[in-house]
Structure 1
Amino acid sequence: MNLSFLDKWRRRADPDHPLPFAGPAAGPEGGPGSGASGAGPGTGPGSGSGSGEDPGSVTELLSECELLRAQAAEAGVELDDTPRSLEALDQLQPVWRDDPEVLPWLGNDAGLYLGTVLVRTVRGAVWQVWPDGLPVVRLESGREVDVVRAGHEWADDGAPELSHVYAEVAES
């Protein structure tokens, strides 16, 4: 079976700088916060079963965000996993809103990318995958951020901006 995204993912993985992964959560049914998962298509990686998962593989797969990276590259924006790239994403023309098939996938990717930036740049931030498959970012304080929901809100409405979510989370 030819899965091109896996080839790209394997080439991108940097064994010297893996993303932190807290592992599957044993939390309440329905996930963190208000219970609204916000999970859209593609939240299956690392479904939180805990059986035989490779944490490094799960975190790298969560950081792939292939559709978002392709859309950004097409607009001349480089996604380098930094807060500055979130600001650049916020400035993109939302052409994806015209395509109801792309919108949920792009929102999911935007949330996963936001999570990737948080995990790479905020001290103590780690990925946490709930038993229902929802990936969230857990901060050192114990607060959990539903980045997928934030990504969907950004893709749907443009608000809150990804850079604002990052700034608010990084402050806490």
Structure 2
Amino acid sequence: MNIPFLGHRRRKAGFPDPAGIAELLAECELLRNQAARAGVALDDSVASLEALDQLVPGWRDDEETLSWLGNDAGLYLGTVIVRTVAGAAWEFRSDGQPVVRLASGRQLDVVDAGHEWAANGVPELSQLYAEVAES
């Protein structure tokens, strides 16, 4: 997910508000709608990542939905990590791609991981979370 309109503004003092950006990235509307239709509540918990991993991937036949859902899955994974792993925070690469920076300094491209999950089911979102939480 490239957010180019943030590029120039984020250089100005005081913008963007990290909490506001985190809320924007946490919206994941398509993923939340898909999950709700399947009876899965996305409450920003590790358990919700496990529940997502169990969804039947009916979206794989629709390229447009697959792409958007991959973005949302990655952003949702990042949201859970940022909200539950000490020292994790959102950052933007120079190309505008949101990534999660861990306390160790490691950057995690959650959007790429979300696309892989949406297209192939692996790596599982809960597995990625477990790897991050252990590091």
**TM-score with structure 1 length normalisation?**
0.73
Describe how 1:54-93 pairs up with structure 2 within 5 A.
54-93=17-56
SS at match of 1:97: helix
1:130 aligns with 2:93: yes
Structure 1, gaps ≥5 residues long: 1-38
Which residue number corresponds to residue 160 of structure 1?
A: 123
- For residue 44 of structure 1, report the CA deviation from its aligned partner: 1.7
- CA-to-aligned-CA distance 1:71-128 (integer Å, 9 cap, x gap): 0000000000001100000000000101111000000000000000000100110001
Name the CA shift for 1:150/1:94 in 2 (closer, same or farther; >3 Å).
Answer: same
TM-score, L = length of structure 2: 0.92
State the alpha-carbon separation in 2 of the partners of residues 112 and 119 from structure 1: 10
Question: Is the 1:46–1:53 contact (alpha carbons within 8 Å) kept by the matching residues of 2?
Answer: no
Aligned length: 131
Which amino acid is the alignment partner of residue 30 of structure 2? Answer: L
Structure showing the higher helix proportion among its residues: 2
Counterpart amino acid of residue 108 in structure 1: N
The equivalent position to 1:112 in structure 2, one of 61, 66, 75, is 75
Percent of counterpart pairs with the same letter? 67
Task: Extract unaligned runs of 5+ from structure 2.
Answer: none
Q: CA RMSD in A?
A: 1.4
CA change 1:113–1:46 in 2 (3 A) is farther
